[in-house]
Structure 1
Amino acid sequence: MAGRRDEILDAFVRSVARRGYERTNFADLASELGMSKGTIVHHFGTKDQLLRELQERYMRQRLEEAKRILAVTQSAADRVAALIYAGVFYQAYHRDEAVAFQREIVHLRDSPALEDARKMRREYSELVTAVVRDGMADGTFRPGDAALMALMFYGSVQWMWTWYEPDGRVAPEALAAQQVDLVMGGLMAGSAAPLDHPRLAKLVHGALGL
């Protein structure tokens, strides 16, 4: 039963990523999976319930991965860099999940059913902000509004789905390194030792189970 339920949710994620929530319907999902619409209704009831589970599953996984990243990094610079690497890797290696989550993010703003997903998103945002704030406190990052700075760099990675091409000319690891260098240019308080990009990429690969 659990396997069939996961199969339906995975098909829903793929459909939302490619066609959007409004154009996703049970008839198409049933046809793709070779099952009746009644089977989907039995497991999920409504399309809104599927969206709720999509959003919650995505944020739960991202939070778990972020905590693993923080557990194996020490400096604020390494932590911010690793979180950026993770954000880029989601676009490449968890493409459908990232696109499905982001393109329907507007639903998180006011849907009562998505309160748990909103809480997890706030927790993730607070986690990133805390890393930036720690870097400001120890002099690694220039002073400023930590929440705003975190939102700017975190948001830029989140919206990569609108332009990023997984099969493009730049590999995800190289793209992530460029994104990190761009962000660090604005965050760092002064000169610092160069980041070890191969080590960071390897670390994040491990945290994400890639």
Structure 2
Amino acid sequence: MPRSPGRRGEILDAFVRYVAERGYDRTNIGDIADELGMSKGTIVHHFGTKAQMLRELEETHLARQLEALRMAWDRLSAPHERIAAIIHTSVLFQVIERNATVASQREVVQLSDDPAMQQVRKLRDQLQELTIDEIRAGVECGLFRSVNVELAALQLWGSLEWMWVWFNPADSRTPEQVGAAFVDVFLGGLLLDRFELSKWADPAADFVSVVRDCIAAVTNPAE
């Protein structure tokens, strides 16, 4: 998660890292204040509450994923390409924005009933709807077999949202290899004709570069 300028950015960066490492409930403002050499009042001045920091983390992180995918949609048009792009985007964010991704995924239900988290729920729904739309489009054009599209989308996102538990970027498996394995299993279960599945389940497939470009554009806009 690129740092915002000034003390506010330092506070949010520390909060994101603590939530990724400890979880939301075990993250407290006092520890952040001690680490940064400031008073708790300074943090409260900038954010008000710990819940507000979580909301900002979630909104920023989810909005970046959506923006990256919408950019990718301008370059990838087929349903199977887009489903593969969703998978690789999720995996690559595990590396490129590791702390924000882990913090967001481990706290997916935190404050879910809080009215202040309405925008976060909306962004999560939009990510889900992108997947539903592409599975439905694939079924309607005869590319995918007939499935319950809502349940298929839930299966995919459930798998991707749980990845933070077992995927370690320092392991020997690259994010591209992990993404390709997900593509092989998930698209393999959808495609009516699997003849070209190996092309889409290739860690070096062209669309993976498209995904990387789009993520770079939203996470490092000044570069």
TM-score (norm. length: structure 1): 0.94
Counterpart in the other structure of 1:94: 97
User: How far, CA to CA, are the matches of 1:140 and 1:56 in structure 2?
Assistant: 34
Contact 1:69 1:83 in 2 (8 A): no
Pair 1:159 & 2:162 matched: yes
Residue 27 (structure 1) shift: 1.3
Higher helix share: 1
Residue 108 (structure 1) shift: 4.8
Contact 1:14 1:97 in 2 (8 A): yes
Secondary structure (helix, strand or coil) at the match of 1:144 reads: coil
User: How far, CA to CA, are the matches of 2:43 and 2:73 in structure 1?
Assistant: 38
Contact 2:180 2:203 in 1 (8 A): yes
Secondary structure (helix, strand or coil) at the match of 1:165 reads: coil
Return structure 1 stretches of 4+ with deviation > 4 angstroms. none
Residue 2 (structure 1) shift: 5.0
User: How far, CA to CA, are the matches of 1:27 and 1:117 in structure 2?
Assistant: 26
Contact 1:108 1:118 in 2 (8 A): no
Q: Which runs of 5+ in 1 are unaligned?
A: none
Contact 1:108 1:117 in 2 (8 A): no
Residues 143-180 of structure 1: CA deviation (Å, up to 9, x unaligned): 11111111111221111001111111211111111111
Contact 2:179 2:203 in 1 (8 A): no
Secondary structure (helix, strand or coil) at the match of 2:26 reads: coil
Counterpart in the other structure of 2:29: 26
User: How far, CA to CA, are the matches of 1:38 and 1:48 in structure 2?
Assistant: 15
Counterpart in the other structure of 1:82: 85
Identity of aligned residues (%): 44
Residues 91-117 of structure 1: CA deviation (Å, up to 9, x unaligned): 122111111011111125312210110
Pair 1:116 & 2:116 matched: no
Q: CA RMSD in A?
A: 1.6
**Pick from 178, 181, 184: which aligns with 1:178?**
181
Contact 2:188 2:194 in 1 (8 A): no
**Pick from 31, 36, 41: which aligns with 1:38?**
41
TM-score (norm. length: structure 2): 0.89
Pair 1:208 & 2:211 matched: no
Q: Which runs of 5+ in 2 are unaligned?
A: none
Q: 1:165 to 1:52 in 2, by over 3 A?
A: same
Q: 1:16 to 1:205 in 2, by over 3 A?
A: same
Secondary structure (helix, strand or coil) at the match of 2:112 reads: helix
Counterpart in the other structure of 1:130: 133
User: How far, CA to CA, are the matches of 1:64 and 1:191 in structure 2?
Assistant: 30
Secondary structure (helix, strand or coil) at the match of 1:107 reads: coil
**Pick from 99, 103, 108: which aligns with 1:105?**
108
Q: 1:28 to 1:173 in 2, by over 3 A?
A: same
User: How far, CA to CA, are the matches of 1:108 and 1:151 in structure 2?
Assistant: 20
Secondary structure (helix, strand or coil) at the match of 1:109 reads: coil
Counterpart in the other structure of 1:65: 68
User: How far, CA to CA, are the matches of 1:173 and 1:144 in structure 2?
Assistant: 27
